Chains A and B, each alone.
Chain A
Amino acid sequence: DFQMTQSPSSLSASVGDRVTITCRASQSISSYLNWYQQKPGKAPKLLIYAASSLQSGVPSRFSGSGSGTDFTLTISSLQPEDFATYYCQQSYSTPPTFGPGTKVDI
């Protein structure tokens, strides 16, 4: 299975901050990387697919980049509703695997 890691595991930020989360794959996954947001007590929500494509309805302050083994999710200006846990997921190989998550709080 392809192992996914994320850094940092948690971070503290303020409204208006630029936030960057990193995801690393154990082997090259080309651009087959997706990002999800999960708020407490809620189901995950797809934000970014294929490394950099914004899912319909997701605010443009979210962006993704990277290819191969290293990827980033950037929130350009953190909003109060963005405090959540973020997961990456590779779709290059079956089974699809997730990173351990990055918690973004105040």
Chain B
Amino acid sequence: EMQLVESGGGLVQPGRSLRLSCAASGFTFDDFAMHWVRQAPGKGLEWVSGISWKSDNIGYADSVKGRFTISRDNAKNSLYLQVNSLRAEDTALYYCAKDPEARIGTTNTRFDFWGQGILVIVSS
């Protein structure tokens, strides 16, 4: 059974950092691109970042560029998001999501399996 389990969220003060993790199982992790998508409380979905199967193709939303860093460790079947210089507007449920393609930024980019999400609250 396919699973994506996020961890590492919590309550953090503005300006501080967190590292989100996503543990994958039930599929061949290193065959697929992976993404982070977030959802602010009561709001819609926002793509945050994506990474290709061998980490050679990475993208970020303008809202997080320069502050967030996506990475993956295929040996550990894990996806990460280092989130720095956090702002109140980064408060959201962060989902890890699988792409059926190996690379990001293709016209087939979609999110065919999602984790349950991890909550990040930025507040003093």
Contact = CB atoms under 8 A, between A and B. Distances in A.
B115 A96 contact: no
Interface in B75-124: 95, 104-117
A46 B110 contact: yes
Interface of B: 44-47, 59, 61-62, 95, 104-117
A94 B59 CA distance: 8
Nearest to A100: B44
Given A95-B61, A98-B44, A34 B114 contact: no
Contacts, number: 59
Contacts of B116: 42-43
Contacts of A44: 45, 95, 111, 114
Interface majority SS on B: helix, strand, loop or mixed? loop
Which 6 residue pairs across A and B have the least CB separation, nearest first? A43-B114, A91-B109, A98-B45, A94-B105, A34-B110, A32-B107
Given A32-B107, A98-B44, 6 more contacts: A30-B107, A42-B116, A43-B114, A49-B112, A91-B109, A97-B47
